Structure 1
Amino acid sequence: MALTRVADRLSAVDDQNLTRLGFHADDRRDVALAIRRALGEPAVLARVQLVADQLGRQIGKFEGNTDPFAIPNDFDELDPEVLDKEWGVGILPLLALLATADDVAAFHAARGIDPAISTASLSDLGQQAWVHRRTFDGFGLHTYGWMRIAWSGALYWLGRLQFNLTRYQDEWVVSTHIPESGPLTPQACADSFRRARAFFAEHFPEHPTTRFHCDSWLLDPQLVDVLEPGSNMVKFQQLWQLDGRQRDGDGDALFFVFRRRGEVDVDTLPQDTSLQRAIVAKIRSGGHWHVCAGTFDQDRFAG
């Protein structure tokens, strides 16, 4: 991808493109401003080009990728800390993702993937910018590392849930993610699991899978003790057979429930729901939440 191609692609981005990619109005305005600024700064555009090149090379590669957002040791024209200070967190990676969205869509099309599924999956870029705004009250993209999964062509938004191909315990699995997009009802989840089972078998037959996988703080068994037995979250958790491993999940719980990062004064958090109250009570008492991993057989949602 030549430097002029990235410039041309960014120049061609309009409000319709950004809406299709899931950007909210405030973020669409700020993306347009960032594009105009980047097009006038050759060193910045070169940085965007570098990331875009790496992203493009990793489309279709679902494991063993390098970090496309890392600045190589010999690329010293721009300092990462200066970029974040002068531009905002993740703005240049966001522009690189934006410049390569058509390449990912072309990969989807070559796999015979429904354009509606392609558009929904790529719209996670705008969703993540919206998450950043809600978390930090400003424009940015602090989850750009997560976006590498979608831009590799591994991640798809199928109904209520998102799924991606990945390796787990020496086999390919379909990993499950829970975007913030409505109630986590058993019916909606079942529909997504059925769709995912058929989708990956059809479009990625070279990576046969038999299990769904999930790695999330929502699989922490302690949630069963604080939520209603018939709640959507408890029913979702009961699907999974845990592997026994866990890691600290306080940060995940605070981020996904309250959209807070870093040091958080729990006394300032809203206490409007039973889940919010449970998260705060556990941390305030000196306890901790955990991220757990589990799997279940895809045949549970056959047909």
Structure 2
Amino acid sequence: MNHVHEVAQIANALRLPPDVRPALERLAEVQASAAVCLPAPAETDDLLARLGVAEVDRSEIIATRPSLNKQPALWWLLDRCHSLLVNRMGTGGALDPWPVLSRELGPAARYFYVWVFLSTVADVRRYHLERGIPDDLSWRVLSTLGVQMANYRAIYGEGGLHTQDWLTFHFRGAVYSLGGLHFERQRIWFDAERRPGVSAAPRRGDHALGLHIPEGSLSPDLVEDALHRARGFFARHFPDEDHCFATCVSWLLDEQLQEYLSPDSNILRFQRRFHLIPPRESNDNATMVEFIFKRPLSGLDALPSTTTLQRAVIGHIRAGRTWMFRTGWLVW
């Protein structure tokens, strides 16, 4: 069967819109790895628990276990996504976005990408072992799956996963959780101007570590501890990569926050660590609201406003203004 006809059949079976077909065509070209191996039913609950998935989600996930015979289109997608992760194990950079499945497919769609990651646990664990990464740090970064699923339930009121593209970094050895931050192995994608008093400036293609901020404190001591841990970790486990710089792409670096927060706030202290590159035009209100409130932007009027940051976010949006994700860098 040629790819065009095969993709058309898969898209129709999964009720995907025409604009998704180019992504499916690229997946159709993925070279198959070893056959997909899902965890045995008796082992799935324990594995999900180890990945930080809440009990209320675990039972629903197990009920949606994909089947080659009963759901050939879903299995086709599972096989291609699994093979892509395995083939790109150890690499950095973003993969092509995976198709967002139709909600008409019900829980099978909402939990589908959980099964892709379950099928890849053994492969990424093997990669971690080859790099000498301790067991506790291996499971810690993979348990980001449970965190992301908890966020989905808080936002949408039901179980599922919508950040599958972000988790592809965790399940191919590109991101690690150290201290209170996540660190992504990456390459610089911009040319920065040299700053006075700074020893160097990043150039396109340089190795770097991307800082990602999960929920929790951003106290200077916590940040310093995470940076210290990361320096030792990457020098030890990835000595072939010279990480001279660190980057951060976040709403935390939006200079508009300076209008609302105290200069001594942890957010602005974190912000001042970075040199910012020129902003791009963007409207990231929805992403910011989801991160801070675990609610959709459509529910703005019902959001709590008990903290300075919450009031700032809501007031800024109600004034017709937009929040931006800014990019910053620092010398590692």
Q: Under a length normalisation based on structure 1, what TM-score does the superposition of the two structures give?
A: 0.86
Q: CA 1:292–1:225 in structure 2 vs 1: closer, same or farther (change >3 Å)?
A: same
Q: 1:274 to 1:27 in 2, by over 3 A?
A: same
Amino acid at match of 1:147: L
Alignment of 1:167-206 (within 5 A): 167-168=187-188, 169=190, 170=204, 171-180=206-215, 182-206=216-240
Could you say which residue in structure 1 is the equivalent of 2:252?
A: 218
Superposed CA deviations along residues 191-227 of structure 1, whole A, max 9, x for unmatched, are: 0011112211221122211111100011001112211
Shift of 1:108: 0.6
**Is 1:50 the counterpart of 2:80 in the alignment?**
yes
1:230-273 CA-partner distances (Å, limit 9, x unpaired): 22111111111111223332122211111234x52422211121
- Closer, same or farther: CA 12–235 of 1 in aligned 2, 3 Å: same
* C-alpha spacing 1:28/1:141, structure 2 compared with 1 (3 Å): same
Pairing partner for 1:20 from 50, 68, 88:
50
Residue aligning to 2:319? 285
Matched, 1:136 2:156: yes
C-alpha separation between the residues in 2 aligned to 1:18 and 1:198?
A: 30
Pick from 176, 180, 199 the counterpart of residue 156 of structure 1: 176
| Identical-pair percentage | 31
Q: Does the 8 Å CA contact 2:316/2:322 hold for their aligned counterparts?
A: yes
SS of 1:52's equivalent? Answer: helix
Letter in 1 for 2:271: Q
Q: Please tell me the residue identity of whatever aligns with 2:314.
A: V
Query: Are the equivalent residues in 2 in contact too, given 1:242–1:292 (CA < 8 A)?
Result: yes
Rounded to whole Å, the distance in 1 between the matches of 2:104 and 2:125 is 29
Per-residue deviation at 1:38?
Answer: 4.2
What's the counterpart of residue 193 of structure 2?
Answer: none
Deviation at 1:276, TM superposition (A): 0.8
User: CA offset at residue 63 of structure 1?
Assistant: 3.2
Are residues 1:250 and 2:285 paired? yes
Q: Can you give the 5+ residue segments of structure 2 that lack an aligned partner in the other structure?
A: 1-32, 191-203
User: Does the aligned pair in 1 maintain the 2:41–2:62 contact within 8 Å?
Assistant: no
Structure 1 residue 90: Cα displacement: 4.2
RMSD over aligned Cα, in angstroms?
A: 2.1
1:242/1:293 contact within 8 Å kept: yes
Q: How many residues align?
A: 283
SS of alignment partner, residue 96 of structure 1: helix
Does structure 1 retain, via aligned residues, the 8 Å contact 2:94–2:169?
no
**Deviation sequence 1:108-141 (CA, Å, 0-9, x none):** 1100111111110000111111111111111111
The one-character-per-residue Cα deviations of 1:67-107 (angstroms, maximum 9, x if unpaired) are 5x359xxxxxxxx43x6533355421210111111211110
Query: Given residue 254 of structure 1, which amino acid in structure 2 is its aligned partner?
Result: V
In the alignment, what sits opposite 1:74? none
Select between 211-220 and 13-22 the one with higher mean Cα deviation.
13-22
- Which aligned pairs between 1:118-129 and structure 2 lie closer than 5 A? 118-129=138-149
Instruction: In structure 1, list runs of 5 or more residues that go unmatched.
Output: 72-79, 299-303
Greater strand percent: which structure?
A: 1
Please give the alpha-carbon distance, in whole angstroms, between the structure 2 residues aligned to 1:186 and 1:64. 29
1:213 counterpart SS class: strand
- Give 1:294 deviation, angstroms: 0.4
Question: Within 5 Å, which residues of 2 pair with 1:4-83?
Answer: 5-7=36-38, 9-11=39-41, 13-35=43-65, 38=67, 41-43=70-72, 44-63=74-93, 65-67=95-97, 69-70=98-99, 80-81=101-102
Q: Which one-letter code corresponds to 2:236 in the other structure?
A: E
Q: Which residue of 2 aligns with 1:301?
A: none
User: CA 1:146–1:64 in 2, change beyond 3 Å: closer, same or farther?
Assistant: closer
Out of 87, 91, 103, the position equivalent to 2:107 is 87
Q: Which residue of 122, 132, 135 maps to 1:115?
A: 135
Whole-Å separation in 2 of the counterparts to 1:132 and 1:166 = 27
Contact preservation (8 Å) 1:58, 1:65: no
User: Does the CA contact (< 8 Å) of 1:10 and 1:99 recur in 2?
Assistant: no
Q: Which amino acid aligns with 1:154?
A: A
Structure 1 residues 89 and 132, CA gap change in structure 2 (3 angstroms): farther
Task: Name the aligned partner's letter for residue 132 of structure 1.
Answer: Y
